[in-house]
């Protein structure tokens, strides 16, 4: 019986040592909160951060959590977004690109040129962006960090959605979800390769 117990304890300990997959839900609208310090620290770790003149209180909120998860990328960030207009999220993505993370963006052709879209700014710094050429919308709203963390939900990356809408975002590391999304990203990325673009 002693041996049996020891085996069961050893098995339980082994299971505990395996890192548990991150499973998290963020709801929006996000509490209004200043993310300047977070973004400045990410841009220049350790540098003195000037106090932000904006009237928003500092502190954690759904947006700051989303920013932190994205900024945890070390190797790759694959993004598939219907609409991308949030200046804070745009800044985080450009920052990752500057840091050498391989950033790829897929977006919707009809929404990427809207006033306030971040897509032009991303292209301007050299980030690869591809878009659909289909009648339907490219309506996904997901990001994959380092090919292992999926961030997906109802949230378009716009200030309107972040500050005003009821939205959800799931953070997922279980392979049953991450792998199909990796496949979907690669499928779309190839389908929207500019060599396939038609000229009208």
* Residue 149 contacts its own copies per CB under 8 A: no
DSSP 13-32: HHHHHSPPPPEEEEEESPPP
Q: Which of 60, 139, 174, 183 is catalytic?
A: 139
141 catalytic per annotation = yes
Distance, in Å, from the CA atom of 121 to the CA atom of 17, rounded to the nearest integer, reads: 43
| Options 70, 78, 103, 153; binder of its own copies; rule CB under 8 A | 153
Contact (CB, 8 A) for 106 and 137: no
Q: Is the CB of 117 or the CB of 163 nearer to its own copies?
A: 163
Residue whose pair of structure tokens reads 């779309």 in the numeric block: 188
Omega prior to 29 cis, within 30 of 0: yes
Asked if 30 interacts with its own copies (CB under 8 A), we say no
Q: Read off φ and ψ for residue 79, nearest 5 degrees.
A: -120, 135
Look up 139 and say whether it is catalytic. yes
Residues that bind its own copies (CB under 8 A): 1, 3-8, 11, 23-25, 27, 29, 82, 132, 134-142, 152-155, 160-161, 163-168, 170, 172, 174, 176-177, 180-181, 184, 188
Residues involved in catalysis? 139, 141, 146
């Amino acid at each position: 019986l002693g041996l049996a117990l020891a085996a069961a304890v050893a098995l339980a300990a082994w299971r505990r040592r395996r890192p548990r997959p991150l499973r998290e839900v963020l709801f929006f609208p996000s509490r209004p909160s200043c993310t300047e310090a977070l973004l400045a620290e990410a841009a220049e770790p350790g540098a003195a951060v000037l106090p932000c003149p904006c009237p928003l209180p500092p502190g954690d909120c759904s947006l700051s959590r989303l920013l932190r998860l994205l900024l945890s990328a070390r190797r790759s960030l694959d993004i598939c977004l219907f609409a991308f207009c949030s200046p804070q999220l745009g800044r985080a993505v450009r920052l990752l690109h500057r840091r050498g993370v391989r950033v790829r963006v897929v977006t919707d052709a009809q929404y990427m040129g809207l006033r306030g879209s971040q897509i032009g700014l991303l292209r301007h710094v050299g980030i690869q962006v591809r878009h659909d050429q289909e009648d339907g919308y490219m309506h996904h709203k997901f990001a994959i960090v380092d090919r292992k963390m999926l961030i997906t939900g109802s949230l378009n990356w716009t200030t309107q959605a972040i500050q005003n809408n009821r939205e959800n975002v799931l953070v997922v590391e279980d392979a049953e979800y991450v792998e199909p999304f990796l496949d979907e990203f690669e499928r779309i990325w190839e389908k929207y390769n500019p060599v396939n673009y038609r000229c009208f």
